[in-house]
Each structure stands twice: as structure tokens, then as C-alpha cells.
Amino acid sequence: MTVPSVAERSASDTDTTPVLAVRDLWKVFGPKAESVVGSTLSRKELKERTGCVAAVRDVSFDVRRGEVFVVMGLSGSGKSTLVRCLTRLIEPTAGEVLLDGEDVRKADDRRLRELRRNRMAMVFQHFGLLPHRCVLDNVAFGLEIRGVAKKERYARAREVVGLVGLTGFENSYPDQLSGGMQQRVGLARALAADPEVLLFDEPFSALDPLIRREMQNEVIRLHHEVGKTMIFITHDLSEALKLGDRILIMRDGELVQVGTPDQVVGAPADDYVRDFVSDIPRSHVLTLRWIMRPPHPDEPLDGPELGPDVVIRDAVHAVLSADRPVRVTDGESVLGVVTSAEILEVIAGGQD
């Protein structure tokens, strides 16, 4: 079996079909779980009347090819259950999970193993490294159980060890490495199999804040480099905003909102989300698109030009130092203008 090298692979950027489509997904823990599917009782009522916990309730969403999709929510909101249902580490009670159109719930045991090994790899918080094997052997291990020939698996292992910045540590053992480095080994092992989707279950929550930031940057770098679809669980909003192309917010098993970071901060779906994002400086997340306005008839339209996706924080200097309105353009036409007034309103009204 051949594993394409990093250089050979390219994400199919133009493909707009979702890599993963989740439809009406339920996971109910407890007796007669199936009978609870569809219930509109609150979590508390459900527990009292049926003894069941609906950890995931009627959740539907698509994950686009190549995006970083973050699942966020408070402890107990159902994030882990939801993501484990995608590979059936937890068996869903009802609904559909389609991976490239294939119904994962219909896969038999053999097919499911193939899917987990080759298509959707999970990176766990506790790295699951084999202590008696060195870095290279740990990374090659996933390929070994897939039956990849020795020469090929070690060539690939060296390649991904380099990719995660561990060149020089190939022969070290896990207990000789820091937590961040061990997490890189876990990441390399997941990447080695060249899966379509990488799933991260709160991978950095055990790391100290500095290492955690370093690993977040590492994920961003890797994402640019390998273009993989990534599904990332976190309960940390700033991590979600930093990493996510889109964020799914859960509460009590239900999906509350799916949106880009600026949509979640700029247009929270309800008070729960509004509360969540209330400490985030809006100017760090919102873009000029959110504050531009149509020009007044008497306004000069020969000021500096900026794109609509420029984050407000990055435009402050240009707008405040301009002696005329800044034009927000898509390269061809003027979409709106931004002046000091709009910038100052965000900064004064937000939590800056």
C-alpha cells in the first residue's frame, strides 16, 4: 500500500461537497435510549422521567473540506460525545454521519476499522504513546498495523516527524520528552496515516499555557502546510476563535450556533452565546465588513483602500490617521466606508 508523501498530496480546494455531513444526530445514554429520540423534554425532566441523558440532541452540520471546525461548549455540553459519535467510538442512537457520502453508521466492523485508521484519525489529550518505543517507532506504529512495508513506513514516519518539528528526536523515548513534544508525537502519528480528517479531543488542555499557545500555532502552521480537515474540541473560547474557520457551539447536547469567529462574536445566536463572547474584544475578531457603512453623498471617496476581511484591530492605525473615509473595497467596487467614528464606537462599546 502506498501512502502519498506530503509533497504529493494537495487538498482539493475547489471541491465544495462537505467531507462530513451530520444529520439529526442523537446520542442518548440510559435505558430504552431509542424511545427518547425526538423528545423535547428538558435535560432535567428527561432524566427524572426516563433515567436517560440526551448527550447529543438532534444535531446537524456539515464540515467543509480543508477547514478547521471547532466544537465548543461548557463541560457536559456534549462535545466529546458528539465527536466520538463521528467515528462511532460512541455508537449514535439515531441520525446519519456521512463521510464523503458514505454512511458511517452502516459500516461493518472491518470497514469501521479501516475508516478509523485511514480516514479519520483522533489525537487525544493523553497522547497514548507506547513508552517502550522511540519517537520514530511510535509514529510508524499506526502504519505498521495498516500493513505498510517497513521501509515505506519509516520513510513516511521520518517525513511527518520533520513536519511536526521533531527532527533530531527520532530515537528519543516518550519519557525523555516534554508534554508539548509528546503531543507533537501524537500529532505526527495521526498525520502519518494521511487521514482525510483529523479529530482533536481537547488535545492541549493538559499543557501549560505557554506550551499550549505554541501547540495552537503549530496546528495553524500544520493546517497551512497539509491542508487537512480538522475537527477540534475545546471549551476555551479564545482557542476556538484562534483556530476555527467555523465554530459549532453546544449547550446541553444541542447545537446553538455554527458560524465563523466573527459571526459568533458579531451576531451571537442567543444570550448563552452572547455571554460566552462577552469578554472577547470585538475589534480583535470583527472585520471591517461589520462596521462599514454606505458613504454619505458629500463624502470624498478618494481615501485609502482596505479589504472587507481586514480585522478592525489591524485597521485602526490606517483609519485613524486618514484625513478622509477609508474605502472598503473588494478590489473592484466600493462596498462601504469606515471612519474614526465607526472604529471608536467598536473600541468604546466593546471590551477593549
Ligand X SMILES: Nc1ncnc2c1ncn2[C@@H]1O[C@H](COP(=O)(O)OP(=O)(O)OP(=O)(O)O)[C@@H](O)[C@H]1O
Q: Which residues bind ligand X (CB under 6 A)?
A: 29, 53, 55, 73, 75-81, 235
Nearest approach, Cβ of 209 to ligand X (angstroms)?
Answer: 18
Pairing of strands 94-99, 102-103: antiparallel
153 within 8 A of 174, measured Cβ to Cβ:
no
Q: Are 286 and 305 in contact (CB under 8 A)?
A: no
Nearer to ligand X, 123 or 192 (CB): 123
Q: How far is the CB of 205 from ligand X (least distance, A)?
A: 9
Residue 44 or 224: which CB sits closer to ligand X? 44
Q: Min. distance of Cβ 198 from ligand X in angstroms?
A: 18
State how far the Cα of 191 lies from the Cα of 154, in Å rounded to an integer. 13
Cell of residue 13, nine digits = 480546494
Q: By C-beta, is 77 or 183 nearer to ligand X?
A: 77
Q: Looking at beta carbons only, is 30 or 266 nearer to ligand X? A: 30
Give the 3-state secondary structure of residue 290.
helix
Distance CA 246, CA 133 (A): 37
Q: What is the C-alpha end-to-end distance of the chain, expressed in Å?
A: 54
Give the nearest distance from C-beta 332 to ligand X in angstroms.
Answer: 44
List own/partner pairs for 151-155 with CB under 8 A and 24 or more apart: 152/2, 152/3, 153/3, 153/192
Contact (Cβ atoms closer than 8 angstroms) between residue 286 and residue 264: no
246 closest CA partner among 76, 18, 10: 18
**Minimum gap (Å) between residue 81 Cβ and ligand X:** 3
Q: Which is nearer to ligand X, 159 or 254 (CB)?
A: 254
* Min separation Cβ 260 and ligand X, Å: 22
Q: H or E element: which one contains 345? A: helix 340-349
Q: What is the smallest separation between the CB atom of 247 and ligand X, expressed in angstroms?
A: 14
Closer residue to ligand X, CB minimum distance, 82 or 343: 82
Q: Which is nearer to ligand X, 55 or 222 (CB)?
A: 55
Minimum gap (Å) between residue 84 Cβ and ligand X: 8
The minimum distance between CB 252 and ligand X, in angstroms, equals: 8
Would the CA dihedral through 78, 198, 94, 245 be positive or negative? Answer: positive
Phi/psi at 69 (5° precision):
-110, 120
**Residue 253 burial by Cβ neighbours in a 10 Å radius (0-12, 13-18, 19+):** buried
d(CA 178, CA 190): 19
Q: What is the CB neighbour count within 10 angstroms for residue 120?
A: 23
Location of C-alpha cell 439515531: 94
